[in-house]
């Protein structure tokens, strides 16, 4: 099936121009003026923008976590993604301690077969021995995994201690993969949680108190220092504080390769949500790191504008009200996670582009291109050029909407963006060259999504090695 997008304004991370785009067999076949194709479905994009489909580098569909399983599975979650203009998600394989990485990876691959959108995986390192190192090798060489995740929080569950970070970052460097971290000091969180419970503070208002910004700042600095000492690059997921943003900026200023991701939620929602007298509403916002006092949002936006934070994500991990109620008497038992895969691009357009903080081209970089580059899917994804995958979003910058759980595709009954007015919404989403979403209707089928292989980024690592050799700044690489 061919799809012809007529007369739209093409917006990439570097260019803006009016053109027709013909998509054939899942790829962009032609870009030009007055294109025609006999058997094509024609979509009039006059007055609309055509941008690369969004890539959300951080989601958790049907994640088994904290005694339950996230409500949005790979079917509902990826349908929601498409409705929001996102055509690829990077989800996380999270092996339980002592579980084989390859077994966990296969489990997640099986679950993801029902995906509507494209998908790929970071794999978490939750324990360590020689078999983990050898399975990392297999994942890189045979399964197109080029990034490994480390949770510095969640003590007594999946927390990676310093010895694991050192061993795993070293292995990542050897393999040409990128280590990523959830930066929060798990020991401090555990200590503060217990102290609050002892004091009888058991509600959701205790959640942010148990995870102050210094807890993230310490872990961010530690992870960056470890990576820097070993000569490895590093990617920090869901950066939510001024401290962590400053740590990234400082390291970048000193020539180190550090990437930072920010969530749409952390950019626009503040910690007042935990003071809601409605327990369910406050609990609905329990995620880690927590929402922060407003001045952190200013720091995050500055990080976005100045290049310290290069990607936007959601950490989509949807728990419904009944699941949140598992922590009715103890805030540490409220499953951590919020949704947003559908809203991310609209929120970033409204609060970023419409508010004059970023340009439409920067919007494309932040929602798609930078992630494609960092995790080596570019230029197959994250760009609009002949031969690239036809993962595209037709964006109507004039249409308004009120974001609400009443209308979102996610399976849960609350939204952290409830009531937000946005102007600028996806009208049509093309995934693998097919119309997957159009004006409110999901047209894709469960199972249409494809797994994306991400080879290691050899040239990037080569240049890193060269730079290190030139400066001789630190320990020998490898």
Q: Which residues sit at the interface with ligand URP, rule CB under 6 A?
A: 60, 182, 287-288, 315, 317, 336-337
The pair of three-digit structure tokens given for residue 338, joined into one six-digit string: 């919020």
Q: Which is nearer to ligand URP, 288 or 432 (CB)?
A: 288
Closer by beta carbon to ligand URP, 62 or else 456: 62
Q: Which residue is nearest to ligand URP (CB)?
A: 336
The radius of gyration of the chain from alpha carbons, rounded to an integer in Å, stands at: 21
287 binds, among ligand URP, Zn ion, none (CB under 5 to 8 A by kind): ligand URP
Name the residue nearer to ligand URP (CB basis): 120 or 288.
Answer: 288
HEC states along the chain?
CEEEEEEEEEECCCCEEEEEEEEECCEEEEEECCCCCCCEEEEECCCCEEEECEEEEEECCCCEECCEECCCCHHHHHHHHHHCCEEEEEEEECCCCCCCHHHHHHHHHHHHHHCCCEEEEEEECCCCCHHHHHHHHHHHHHHCCCEEEEECCCCCCCECCHHHHHHHHHHHHHHCCEEEEECCCHHHHHHHHHHHHHCCCCCCCHHHHCCCHHHHHHHHHHHHHHHHHHCCCEEECCCCCHHHHHHHHHHHHCCCCEEEEEEHHHHHCEHHHHHCCCHHHHHHCCCCCCCECHHHHHHHHHHHHHCCCCEEECCECCCCHHHHHHHCCCHHHCCCCECCCCCHHHHHHHHHHHCCCCCHHHHHHHHHHHHHHHCCCCCCCCCCCCCCECCEEEEEEEEEEECCCCCCCCCCCCCCCCCCEEEEEEEEEEECCEEEEECCEECCCCCCCCECCCCCCHHHHHHHHHHHHHHCCCCCCC
Residue 343 sits in the site that holds Zn ion (CB under 5 A): no
Stretch that binds Zn ion, among 1-9, 194-202, 295-303, 424-432 (CB under 5 A): 295-303
- What does 195 bind: ligand URP, Zn ion, none (CB cut-off 5 to 8 Å by kind)? none
Is the Cβ of residue 84 or residue 290 nearer to ligand URP in the bound state? 290
336 binds, among Zn ion, ligand URP, none (CB under 5 to 8 A by kind): ligand URP
**Residue closest to Zn ion when measured from CB atoms:** 182
Q: How far is the CB of 442 from Zn ion (least distance, A)?
A: 25
391 interacts with, out of Zn ion, ligand URP, none, CB within 5 to 8 A per kind: none
Per partner kind, with CB cut-offs from 5 to 8 A, the member of Zn ion, ligand URP, none near residue 428 is none
User: Which residue, 339 or 392, is less far from ligand URP as judged by CB?
Assistant: 339
Which of residues 259 and 461 has its CB atom nearest to Zn ion in the complex? 259
Nearest approach, Cβ of 44 to ligand URP (angstroms)? 40
Least distance to ligand URP from the beta carbon of 203, Å?
17
Partner whose footprint covers residue 295, from ligand URP, Zn ion, none (CB < 5 to 8 Å by kind): Zn ion
Indicate which single residue of 56, 216, 315, 342 sits in contact with Zn ion (rule: CB under 5 A): 315
Residue 81 and residue 74 in contact, taking contact as beta carbons nearer than 8 Å = no
Q: How far is the CB of 336 from ligand URP (least distance, A)?
A: 3
In angstroms, the Cα distances linking 392 to 68, 115, 128, 361, 433 are 34, 17, 40, 15, 8
Alpha-carbon gap, residue 119 to 58, rounded angstroms: 11
Which range touches Zn ion (CB under 5 A), out of 121-129, 186-194, 227-235, 239-247? 239-247
- Residue closer to Zn ion (CB basis): 182 or 207: 182
Nearer to ligand URP, 111 or 250 (CB): 111
181-210: which residues touch Zn ion (CB under 5 A)?
A: 182
Residue listed under structure tokens 């998908």:
119
Residues 20, 73, 242, 389: which binds Zn ion (CB under 5 A)? 242
Q: Among Zn ion, ligand URP, none, what does residue 242 contact (CB within 5–8 Å per kind)?
A: Zn ion
- Answer with the entry of Zn ion, ligand URP, none that 337 interacts with (C-beta below 5 to 8 A by kind): ligand URP
User: Looking at 41-49, 105-113, 235-243, 301-309, which segment touches Zn ion (CB under 5 A)?
Assistant: 235-243
Q: Does 295 bind Zn ion (CB under 5 A)?
A: yes
Part in contact with Zn ion (CB under 5 A); list of ranges 114-122, 196-204, 234-242, 408-416: 234-242
What length does the chain have?
A: 478
Could you list the residues that contact Zn ion (CB under 5 A)? 182, 242, 295, 315
């Amino acid at each position: 099936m061919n799809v012809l997008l007529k007369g739209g304004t093409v917006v990439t991370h570097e260019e803006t121009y009016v053109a027709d785009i013909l998509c054939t067999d899942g790829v962009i076949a032609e870009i030009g003026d007055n294109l025609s194709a006999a058997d094509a479905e024609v979509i009039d994009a006059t007055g609309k923008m055509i941008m690369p489909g969004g890539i959300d580098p951080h989601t958790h569909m049907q994640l088994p976590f904290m005694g339950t399983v996230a409500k949005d599975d790979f079917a509902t979650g990826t349908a929601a993604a498409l409705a929001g203009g996102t055509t690829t998600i990077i989800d996380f394989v999270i092996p339980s301690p002592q579980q084989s990485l390859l077994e966990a990876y296969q489990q997640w691959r099986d679950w993801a077969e029902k995906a509507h959108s494209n998908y790929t995986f970071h794999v978490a390192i939750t324990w360590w021995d020689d078999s983990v190192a050898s399975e990392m090798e297999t994942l890189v060489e045979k399964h197109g995994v080029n990034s490994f995740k480390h949770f510095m929080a969640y003590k007594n569950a999946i927390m990676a201690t310093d010895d694991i970070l050192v061993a795993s970052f070293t292995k990542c460097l050897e393999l040409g993969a990128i280590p990523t971290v959830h930066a929060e000091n798990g020991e401090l969180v555990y200590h503060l949680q217990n102290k609050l419970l002892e004091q009888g503070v058991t509600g959701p208002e205790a959640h942010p108190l148990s995870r102050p910004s210094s807890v993230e700042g310490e872990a961010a600095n530690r992870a960056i220092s470890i990576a820097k000492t070993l000569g490895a690059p590093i990617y920090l997921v869901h950066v939510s504080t001024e401290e962590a943003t400053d740590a990234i900026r400082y390291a970048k200023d000193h020539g180190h390769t550090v990437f930072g991701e920010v969530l749409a939620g952390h950019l626009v929602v503040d910690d007042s949500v935990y003071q809601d007298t409605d327990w369910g509403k406050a609990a609905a916002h329990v995620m880690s790191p927590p929402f922060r006092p407003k001045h952190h949002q200013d720091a995050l936006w500055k990080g976005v504008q100045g290049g310290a934070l290069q990607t936007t994500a959601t950490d989509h991990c949807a728990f419904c009200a009944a699941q949140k109620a598992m922590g009715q008497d103890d805030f540490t038992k409220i499953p951590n996670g919020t949704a947003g895969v559908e809203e991310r691009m609209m929120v970033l357009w409204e609060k970023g582009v419409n508010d004059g903080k970023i340009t439409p081209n920067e919007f494309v970089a932040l929602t798609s291109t930078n992630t494609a580059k960092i995790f080596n899917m570019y230029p197959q994804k994250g760009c609009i050029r002949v031969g690239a995958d036809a993962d595209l979003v037709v964006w109507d910058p004039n249409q308004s909407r009120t974001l609400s759980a009443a209308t979102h595709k996610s399976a849960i009954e609350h939204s952290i963006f409830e009531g937000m007015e946005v102007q600028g919404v996806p009208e049509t989403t093309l995934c693998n060259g097919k119309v997957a979403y159009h004006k409110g209707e999901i047209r894709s089928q469960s199972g249409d999504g494809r797994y994306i292989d991400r080879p290691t980024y050899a040239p990037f690592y080569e240049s890193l090695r060269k730079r290190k050799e030139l400066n001789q700044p630190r320990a020998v690489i490898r």
